[in-house]
Chain A
Amino acid sequence: GENVEQHPSTLSVQEGDSAVIKCTYSDSASNYFPWYKQELGKGPQLIIDIRSNVGEKKDQRIAVTLNKTAKHFSLHITETQPEDSAVYFCAASGPQGGKLIFGQGTELSVKP
């Protein structure tokens, strides 16, 4: 079955710097890759997603890139702010809206 690896597990940056979180997946049939932000004690919130027919997608300070050949996808956050501090999860799912397989999570800390 699908396996998703996420790195790093923790990431600390200064306010205003960029943050990059990387994920790899194992199933080449996976075609949907969402990213979720989870604040302490809350449910995950979808922040951006990408489908396999697209190589890059951007939404203001957040961007996601996908390399299907290498089976990598990454989250890029620019101009980080303290409110970006949270745990971020990547996920992958297969054709026909299969179940999501989550990465291990990255705890991002943005220091003022």
Chain B
Amino acid sequence: GAVVSQHPSRVICKSGTSVKIECRSLDFQATTMFWYRQFPKQSLMLMATSNEGSKATYEQGVEKDKFLINHASLTLSTLTVTSAHPEDSSFYICSARDTGTHQETQYFGPGTRLLVL
């Protein structure tokens, strides 16, 4: 149980294009999902908290117009990196909390490797 998937697993795009990453909770409902970014040899940095049916909450320094988050259902959140540039190349990971258990445990997806050329 508590499986989170991400798609795609890796993506290469040209500078200036937009990329959408999907995060799905496969066997539970998730009112709240989280998006993290991880650079090589570094820890996970929270970018934003995604809440179903409402606007995402962004961490300080994260541009909401560049990293668009949509959480339209209880099992799906999407992150769109708009006008991507090489410095956006990173490992993007989502996590989800099981709404049904009312627990704070976060289950992570396998991550999406983004390379912007």
Contact = CB atoms under 8 A, between A and B. Distances in A.
Contacts of B104: 32, 93, 97-98
Contacts of B32: 97
A73 B104 CA distance: 18
Nearest to A104: B43
Contacts, number: 46
Contact of B44 (A32, A45, A93, A102): A102
A89 B93 contact: no
Interface stretch (B14-22, B61-69, B75-83, B108-116): B108-116
Interface stretch (A14-22, A36-44, A61-69, A77-85): A36-44
A44 to B, nearest CB: 5
Contacts of A45: 108
Contact of A43 (B43, B49, B109): B109
Given A97-B97, A99-B34, A34 B106 contact: yes
A20 B111 CA distance: 27
Interface in A1-57: 32, 34, 36, 41-46, 49
B31 to A, nearest CB: 10
A101 B36 CA distance: 11
Contacts of A36: 108
A46 B111 contact: no
7 contacts: A34-B106, A36-B108, A41-B111, A43-B111, A97-B104, A100-B46, A104-B43
Interface of A: 32, 34, 36, 41-46, 49, 89, 93, 97-105
Given A43-B4, A43-B108, A100-B34, 12 more contacts: A41-B113, A42-B110, A46-B105, A46-B107, A89-B43, A97-B32, A97-B97, A99-B34, A99-B46, A102-B43, A103-B43, A104-B43
